[in-house]
A and B are shown apart, each in its own frame.
Chain A
Amino acid sequence: MAAPETSTAAVPTLYTNNTLRNAFGGVLSFFILLLIGVMAFSIRLFSVIKYESVIHEFDPYFNYRVTQFLAKNGIYEFWNWFDDRTWYPLGRVIGGTVYPGLTLTAGTIWWLLNSLNIPLSVETVCVFTAPIFSAFASWATFLLTKEVKGTGAGLTAAALLAMVPSYISRSVAGSYDNEAVAIFALIFTFYLYIKTLNTGSLFYATLNSIAYFYMVCSWGGYTFIINLIPMHVLLCIVTGRFSSRLYIAYAPLVVLGTLLAALVPVVGFNAVMTSEHFASFLVFIILHVVAFVYYIKGILSPKMFKVAVTLVVSVGLAVCCAVIAVLIALVASSPTKGWSGRSLSLLDPTYASKYIPIIASVSEHQPPTWPSYFMDINVLAFLVPAGIIACFSPLSDSSSFVVLYIATSVYFSGVMVRLMLVFAPAACITSGIALSQSFDVFTRSIKFQLPGISSNTEVDAAETSSATAEAQNDAVKTEKSEETSKNRPSKKSKKKEKEEKPSTKAKAEKRLLALPLDSSVISLLLLILLGAFYVVHCVWAAAEAYSAPSIVLTSRSHDGLHVFDDFREAYGWLRHNTDVDDKVASWWDYGYQTTAMANRTVIVDNNTWNNTHIATVGTAMSSPEKAAWEIFHSLDVKYVLVVFGGLVGYPSDDINKFLWMVRIGGGVFPHIKEPDYLRDGQYRIDSQATPTMLNCLMYKLSYYRFVETDGKGFDRVRQTEIGKKHFKLTHFEEVFTTHHWMVRIYKLKPPKNRIRGKTKKSKSKTSSTSSRGKRSGSGKKNPWQ
């Protein structure tokens, strides 16, 4: 009984072994994915633990305010909302100028939870939206990499993305900004595109378009997708990989995607009229031409096809040239060739500094430095080239897409440090591929050389489908692993000479190239060490570098932890001690926070859509007191808010930003000349400062009564004593200064009732002393002319 069983059970055992192993692998990868999601969520919670559950920075406050409005008033009010509390007196059409994806997502989550009777506040939902979507993003990375290279690479890439510091920096709990949701949408759209490309199913093409719609709703960076995918289609056509699956993947996306993009009010007709989208239409036409040519080629005999080609080429060329000439004329007639300012500043990195100083002034639009690459993607910087090579063997549609993605994102990340965020998923995908391949090679070498495994060679011979590819990879991988093993020169020489040693196994001698046992074990350990370094760095970066809410500052000194909560103190004072309709003027950085927390109308905010308005405020800050008072009075301003870090050493205060006020103001009002404020090419506030600088409003409002703090007026940020120490303010009065002097609020003094008979004289006097050519000093004159 036993003997026939064992003989007949041999083959089914093989089969059940395989399915059992596959099932076990499936369950294991499910649990790994779950843990990756939990890790992605938890690593972003450092700021909540160290500070509190508060919204960070500047832009998230605007999104938070919009979400509050949405939660209170519903979606129709939100869609038609005209905000009159900002950009006074212009206002802002929120419905038409905001990317609604993030706020609608958070609003939906809040509404869902509240209808399930889980009463979370809007703030809590906003704070934790980013970590939740980063967990989704790592799952999307798993799906995408699985389509490219398989489950192992997918899990590695997902684990890498969950922790990569570049992504953590923009999606930490409290950073409620567009990128929190947009990166998930980006990766998911790419996954669906690759899935459609691999399967050729129209169902996935539909899902792809819907995911693209979600991306357009979420972030202005959607133009990256609508240019990368056509580039990839063109690459496939040019390298001879045209197939009908390519057509199904691309053509419905263009039509549906353009329509869906035009549905979003921010984009509107830009979806068909700006140069950012022209690439997709051009490739659409090219794809149709190529598909038609292939179809004709398929139904004609070769001789007839040649005839057809000569005929079409002679006629079609003339038509083509005419059409292209018209198109070029159309595009060239617009001054920016149809591109928006932001896109142009990406293509030509020097564009912004020459023409649009506001774009140039934002710190996250500067090019990154080399250390920031190591800070933001750490170990992945070494693994990316290995991953690119792994994508080439074998080259499929999906791996060529990954290569193209990483090449373009590396370029753009070099232009603007904010776009390191788009580079991070590509880096994780390629590094995941590289790590997983090398693990495969090493473990396979170990498995084949362990004693007692040779009885299973028939089992393993059945699954040598990828072994051929890996045999070619082995030689490459040893070189790469040499680079990753940092300080082992002796091992390097040993590996180099063992590289060519063929394996001497029973069944698979013609295909497998196993590495020697000891070097693979050591390499495996070194790879694990590499991973450990990466994890340690990521946790450190998340805890120390990227978790600062920047609205609350802390510093450690010998007598414990100091907390600087000055910003919220100032906004709270404004909220409780001023009228609801009072207007507050400050530099545009603080606009969003002022409207959200102080609930007062501001003149300019972080949206920076109106350069002239910002230049007006900048001019006012750079002018002497009386001229500044005139400007502010014409804008109905009641309070002026200034951020000053000189007492505590806070470096991002308004005096350090002053050069931008002068530049932007000078760009629109020519009477503000930057050299007036410079001494030897530098902005100085000490005794060597120019008289224009010492008399301007920003200096006076920052340093008023500053000498009373320590008797000498020593500015800790500029590390020098101030130039003008004792002065009085004639047109402003100080109403509030926070505890550490970080925020100072001044009120405009009302105009005098009687000028005591000196009316005509004072008018002529001000018109001659205010040598700012265009403006004459009598109050109601329009300062814009």
Chain B
Amino acid sequence: MGRASSKEDAGALFHSLRSAYAATPLNLKIIDLYVGFAIFTALIQVVYMAIVGSFPFNSFLSGVLSCVGTAVLAVCLRIQVNKENKEFKDLSPERAFADFVLCNLVLHLVIMNFLG
């Protein structure tokens, strides 16, 4: 009884998640896709390191942290661009995107320096 209800609970949960997510605007979905891609790239790098070994460590670190960094920055962009966020309603999306680009520039400058 517990099992079956939890299974159908999981199914109902899955459906409601899916329907709720489908309601998000398109630009946010694109950002989410970008975040997912960055995390996926980071995972691939970690698996590669587990297979091949971590030398040179600074390259591994810069690769993984660049993926994580772009993911984090994209999430910040998503927060600022999301129209449902009351705190950011007077922040224009252009300004948010400009900040995003600036932060990415700094991040990748550091990455290129650290890559070795």
Contacts and interface: CB of A to CB of B under 8 A. Distances in A.
Interface stretch (A113-121, A148-156, A205-213, A364-372): A205-213
A202 B65 contact: no
B13 A252 contact: no
Contacts of B113: 263
Given A200-B87, A269-B57, A300-B16, A259 B111 contact: yes
Contacts of B99: 201-203, 206
A244 B103 contact: no
A259 to B, nearest CB: 5
Contacts, number: 102
B110 A247 contact: no
A324 interface: no
A583 B54 CA distance: 43
A244 B87 CA distance: 9
Given A262-B61, A308-B13, A244 B79 contact: yes
Interface in B59-116: 61-62, 65, 68-69, 72-73, 75-77, 79-80, 85, 87-88, 91, 96, 99-100, 102-103, 106-107, 110-111, 113-114
Most buried by A among B10, B16, B100: B16
Nearest to B15: A304
Contacts of B85: 244
Given A244-B87, A248-B76, A259 B69 contact: yes
Instruction: Place the interface of chain B in its size category.
Output: 35 or more
A255 B42 CA distance: 13
B92 to A, nearest CB: 12
B27 interface: no
B26 interface: no
Contacts of B68: 255
A256 B69 contact: yes
Interface string A309-350: 011000000000000000000000000000000000000000
Given A202-B100, A203-B99, A258-B65, A251 B107 contact: no
A251 B13 contact: no
Contacts of B9: 307, 310-311
Please report whether the interface of chain B is mostly helix, strand, loop or mixed according to DSSP.
Answer: helix
Contacts of A311: 6, 9-10, 13
B103 A299 contact: no
B106 A210 contact: yes
A272 interface: yes
A201 B24 CA distance: 23
Interface in A251-280: 251-252, 255-256, 258-260, 262-263, 269, 272
Contacts of A301: 16
Contact of B110 (A248, A259, A272): A259
Contacts of B75: 247, 251
Interface string A387-406: 00000000000000000000
B50 interface: no
A762 interface: no
A308 B113 CA distance: 43
A210 B88 CA distance: 24
A243 interface: yes
A304 B69 CA distance: 32
Most buried by B among A258, A260, A299: A299
B4 interface: no
Nearest to B6: A311
Interface string B23-40: 110000000000000000
Given A252-B73, A262-B58, A269-B57, A203 B102 contact: yes
B47 interface: no
Contacts of A251: 72, 75-76
A277 to B, nearest CB: 12
A299 B20 contact: yes
B1 interface: no
Contact of B72 (A255, A260, A300): A255
Contact of B12 (A202, A248, A260, A307): A307
Given A206-B99, A259-B69, A262-B58, A247 B79 contact: yes
B17 interface: yes
Nearest to B103: A206
A781 interface: no
A301 B19 CA distance: 11
Nearest to A206: B103
Most buried by B among A258, A259, A301, A310: A259
A243 B96 CA distance: 17
B36 to A, nearest CB: 13
A695 to B, nearest CB: 53
A255 B69 contact: yes
A297 to B, nearest CB: 11
Nearest to B70: A255
B96 to A, nearest CB: 7
A251 B77 CA distance: 12
A269 B116 CA distance: 14
A739 interface: no
A712 interface: no
A579 B22 CA distance: 82
Contacts of B107: 255-256, 259
Given A252-B69, A255-B65, A260 B110 contact: yes
Contact of A202 (B23, B58, B103): B103
Interface string A179-214: 000000000000000000000111101100110000
B79 A248 contact: yes
B114 A262 contact: yes
A245 interface: yes
A117 B62 CA distance: 41
A248 B72 CA distance: 9
Contact of B17 (A206, A244, A247, A300): A300
A549 B100 CA distance: 49
Interface in A686-711: none
A304 B16 contact: yes
B61 A272 contact: yes
B46 to A, nearest CB: 13
A200 B88 contact: yes
B102 to A, nearest CB: 6
Given A200-B88, A206-B103, A259 B114 contact: yes
A311 B16 CA distance: 14
B71 to A, nearest CB: 9
B59 to A, nearest CB: 12
A263 B79 contact: no
Contact of B80 (A202, A260, A307): A202
B56 to A, nearest CB: 11
A742 B88 CA distance: 68
A644 to B, nearest CB: 50
Contact of A263 (B16, B102, B110): B110
Interface of B: 6, 9-10, 12-13, 16-17, 20-21, 23-24, 57-58, 61-62, 65, 68-69, 72-73, 75-77, 79-80, 85, 87-88, 91, 96, 99-100, 102-103, 106-107, 110-111, 113-114
17 contacts: A200-B87, A202-B76, A202-B103, A205-B103, A245-B87, A247-B75, A248-B76, A251-B75, A259-B62, A259-B65, A259-B69, A263-B114, A269-B61, A301-B16, A304-B17, A307-B10, A311-B9
Given A203-B102, A296-B17, A307-B13, 15 more contacts: A206-B99, A206-B102, A209-B106, A247-B79, A255-B65, A255-B68, A255-B69, A256-B110, A259-B61, A259-B62, A259-B107, A262-B114, A304-B16, A308-B17, A311-B9
The 9 A-B residue pairs with the shortest CB-CB distance in the complex, in nearest-first order: A202-B99, A299-B20, A255-B69, A244-B79, A251-B72, A304-B16, A206-B103, A307-B9, A203-B99
